[in-house]
C-alpha cells in the first residue's frame, strides 16, 4: 500500500473536503472547456476591410494572393505550403506582408531577417520564410532564431553580419507593413485574400476556408478572363492589275 493510501484514514474530513474540491474543480474545467474551444476554434466571420487599397494584384497580373503573416504563428506555418503550391500551380503572384504579433518573442526579428535576405534576392528571402515556417517548432526564442538564420545563410553561401539592420531601415519596413495591416482591419494571422484586377466579380475575397482556395482562384481567373476576343482586322482587298487589251 502506498503512503498516500496509508495516511488516508487518519484524515477523513480533510479527505472528503479535498475530494469535494477536486470534483468541483473538475466540473468547472469541463464546463469551461467548450467555451475555450469556441474562443480559439470558431471560424472567423471575415475581416472588416477599412482600407482596400493594398488588396489588388501587382501591375500586369489578373489574379494574386495577398497574405499578412507572422512567422511565429502556427496557423501561418500550416497555410504556407498550400499558398506556395497554389501560386506555383496557377502561376500567380503571392504578395506576402509582415504582421508580427506583439505576443510573439521572435517573429519581428524573423521578419527583419526575411527582409535582409530579400536584399540578396527575393527567391532567397522567400526560401528563408518557408524554412522558418518548416522549422518553427524548433525555434523557441531570439537566440535559437539567430542560430537557425546563421545555418540558413551558410547553406546559401552568404556571410551573415553581426548587425543585420544597423540603421533600422528593415525594421521600419516591417512596421510599415504592420501599420498597413491595421489600416486594412486585420485582427489575426494568417489573413489571406484572392485579389483581382478588372474582375466581373468581387475585387477581393478573403480565404476563410483554405480547402476552397483552388476553387476561389478558378473563379477569380474566370471572372477576369476576356469576355470576347476582338475580331481580327479585315485584310485590305488586293486590286488585280489591269490587263492590256
Q: Show me where the domains of the chain are located.
A: 52-223
pLDDT of residue 106: 98
- Tell me which DSSP letter residue 8 carries: G
Cell reading at 113: 531577417
> What is the tens place of the pLDDT at every residue in 141-172?
999 999 999 999 999 999 999 999 999 999 99
Q: Quick one: pLDDT band at residue 236, thresholds 50, 70, 90?
A: low
CA–CA distance, 55 with 62 (Å, rounded to integer): 12
pLDDT at 243 over 70: no
| Residue 113 CB partners (closer than 8 Å, separation 6+) | 128, 145, 149, 164
CATH placement of domain 52-223: 3.40.30.10
User: Is residue 64 within 8 Å of residue 177, measured between CB atoms?
Assistant: no
> What is the tens place of the pLDDT at every residue in 168-198?
999 999 999 999 999 999 999 999 999 999 9
Q: Quick one: pLDDT band at residue 111, thresholds 50, 70, 90?
A: very high
Burial class (CB in 10 A: 0-12, 13-18, 19+), 135: middle
Provide the β-strand partners of residue 96: 67
- Grouping H, G, I as helix, E, B as strand and the rest as coil, residue 44 is coil
pLDDT of residue 28: 40
pLDDT of residue 226: 73
As a whole-number percent, the residues of the chain with pLDDT over 70 amount to 74
CA–CA distance, 123 with 100 (Å, rounded to integer): 21
Amino acid at each position: 500500500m502506498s503512503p498516500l493510501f496509508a495516511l488516508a484514514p487518519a484524515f477523513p474530513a480533510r479527505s472528503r473536503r479535498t475530494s469535494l474540491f477536486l470534483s468541483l474543480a473538475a466540473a468547472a474545467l469541463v464546463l469551461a472547456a467548450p467555451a475555450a474551444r469556441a474562443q480559439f476554434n470558431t471560424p472567423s466571420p471575415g475581416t472588416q476591410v477599412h482600407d482596400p487599397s493594398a488588396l489588388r494584384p501587382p501591375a500586369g497580373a489578373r489574379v494574386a494572393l495577398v497574405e499578412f503573416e507572422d512567422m511565429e504563428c502556427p496557423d501561418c506555418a500550416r497555410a504556407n505550403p498550400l499558398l506556395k503550391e497554389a501560386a506555383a500551380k496557377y502561376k500567380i503572384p503571392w504578395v506576402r506582408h509582415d504582421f508580427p504579433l506583439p505576443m510573439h518573442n521572435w517573429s519581428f526579428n524573423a521578419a527583419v531577417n526575411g527582409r535582409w535576405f530579400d536584399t540578396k534576392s527575393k527567391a532567397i528571402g522567400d526560401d528563408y520564410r518557408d524554412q522558418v515556417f518548416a522549422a518553427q517548432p524548433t525555434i523557441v526564442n531570439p537566440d535559437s532564431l539567430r542560430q537557425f538564420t546563421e545555418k540558413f545563410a551558410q547553406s546559401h553561401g552568404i556571410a551573415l553580419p553581426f548587425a543585420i539592420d544597423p540603421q533600422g531601415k528593415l525594421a521600419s519596413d516591417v512596421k510599415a507593413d504592420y501599420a498597413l495591416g491595421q489600416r486594412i482591419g486585420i485582427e489575426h494571422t494568417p489573413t489571406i485574400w484572392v485579389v483581382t484586377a478588372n474582375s466581373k466579380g468581387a475585387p477581393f475575397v478573403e480565404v476563410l476556408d483554405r480547402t476552397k482556395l483552388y476553387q476561389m482562384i478558378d473563379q477569380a481567373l474566370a471572372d477576369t478572363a476576356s469576355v470576347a476576343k476582338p475580331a481580327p482586322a479585315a485584310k485590305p482587298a488586293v486590286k488585280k492589275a489591269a490587263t492590256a487589251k
